[in-house]
Amino acid sequence: MAPVIKLFQRDESVETHVCVTGQHKEMLYQVLDFFEIIPDSDLELMRPNQTLFDITTAALKGLEPIVKQFNPDYIFVQGDTTTAFVGALAGFYEKRKVCHLEAGLRSHDLHSPFPEEGNRKLVGNLAQYHFAPTDIAVDNLKSEQASGVITKVGNTVIDALLLGLDIIKKNESDYRTHFENIDLEKKIILVTGHRRESFGEPFENICKAIKTIASNHPEIEIVYPVHLNPNVREVVGRVLSDLDNVKLIEPLDYPRLIWLMNQSHIVLTDSGGIQEEAPSLGKPVLVMRDVTERMEGVHAGTAKLVGTDYDKIVSETELLLTDQHAYETMAKSVNPYGDGTTSQQVLDYLKSI
C-alpha cells in the first residue's frame, strides 16, 4: 500500500486517511518509518495468543467509528489478510465503495493458504472495484461473476519494491554493515519459510532439503531469516543450526529483506509477495508450497513450484546451481506482475470515475 498512499497524499484532489490495525507492531513501524508514512489511525489490536475471531471482531469494531467520522467515498484494502476482509466488510456495512488491490488471486483450495484464500474470496464479493494484477486474476474474477469493475493494473508490490530500492541506495553502506557476517562474495540462497499449512512433516522435509543442499555445496551461503513462530524455530534450529554455510538470522524488516534479496542468487520461499518481487530483480524463485495463487510466475518461467517435496527442492536447486542455461532462462524471464506503474494507474482510474 505504501506507493499508493504516497501518491494519493501528493495529489491535492484526494484526501487520504491511513488506518493500521497495529498488529506485528515492530514490523509495521519499521515499514512506516522506511516509507515515511504516518498513520492517521492505529487500532492497536496486537494481543498475545489472539485468534482469528479476536482479530476479526476487534478490527471491525475499531473501524466503525473511523469510517463514520472520516466518511470516505472509497475504502482501499489490499491483498488477502484478515484486515483486508474486515476493511471490506466495514465498507459494505457503511455502504462505501470498496476498492480491492491485488484482486483475483486464487489457489482454488479454500484451506491453502489459510485463511488467505477465504479472505480474498470474501473481499471479492464485497468490492465494487477490483484492481487485478494479471490476466489470470482478471479471469478468476470473471469466472466467479464478481460484481463491479475489474481492471488489470499490475501489482503495487513491484512499485513498493522499486521505491524501496531507491530509498536504500542512499544508505547502502549501512546494509552491508548489517550483513557483515554473511559472505556476500559467495552465491547466496535466500530462504523464507513459515506457512502454517506446512507445519509437521512437510516443514521437516523443507529443512532436510536445505541441509542437503548446504552439505553438497560448501561454496554457497544459505541465509534463512527465521520466523518467530515456535513451530518454525524448533525445526529450523534442530535441523540446520550446525551447518557453517547456513546462516540462521532474526526476521528482517522490509528494507533489509529486499536488499538481501537483491544480493541473492536464488530464492527458496513459501511467501506470496516474494514470488512477485524476486523476479523483478532477476532472481529465480523455487516456491515451497503445494499450491500457489501466483501461477503467472510459473507460466512465465520466473518461478517453479517444488512444494515441500525433499527430492524436488534438492534437485531443482542443484539444477540452478550447476546449469547456467537453466539459471539464465529463469533469471531473464519477464516478470508478469507489473512494471512499477500500478499506483499511478489506480490513481488515474479513480480520478476518471
Residues with a known catalytic role: 80, 102, 116, 194, 196, 227
Instruction: Find the angle CA(21)-CA(165)-CA(223) to the nearest 5 degrees.
Output: 80
**C-alpha torsion sign, points 139, 198, 334, 315:** negative
Q: Report how far apart, in Å, the C-alpha atoms of 295 and of each of 50, 136, 298 are.
A: 32, 8, 5
Beta strands in 28-161 (DSSP E): 41-42, 74-78, 97-101, 129-132, 149-152
Least Cα distance to 108 among 117, 99, 116, 95 occurs for 117
Amino acid letter for position 186: K
- The total number of residues written for the chain in this structure: 353
Contact 133, 343 (CB under 8 A): no
Instruction: Please provide residue 85's backbone torsions phi and psi, each rounded to the nearest 5 degrees.
Output: -60, -45
Beta strands in 3-114 (DSSP E): 19-20, 41-42, 74-78, 97-101
Q: What is the helix, strand, coil percentage profile of the chain, to 5?
A: 50, 15, 35
**Cell for 225?**
531469516
Greatest pairwise CA separation for the chain in angstroms: 60
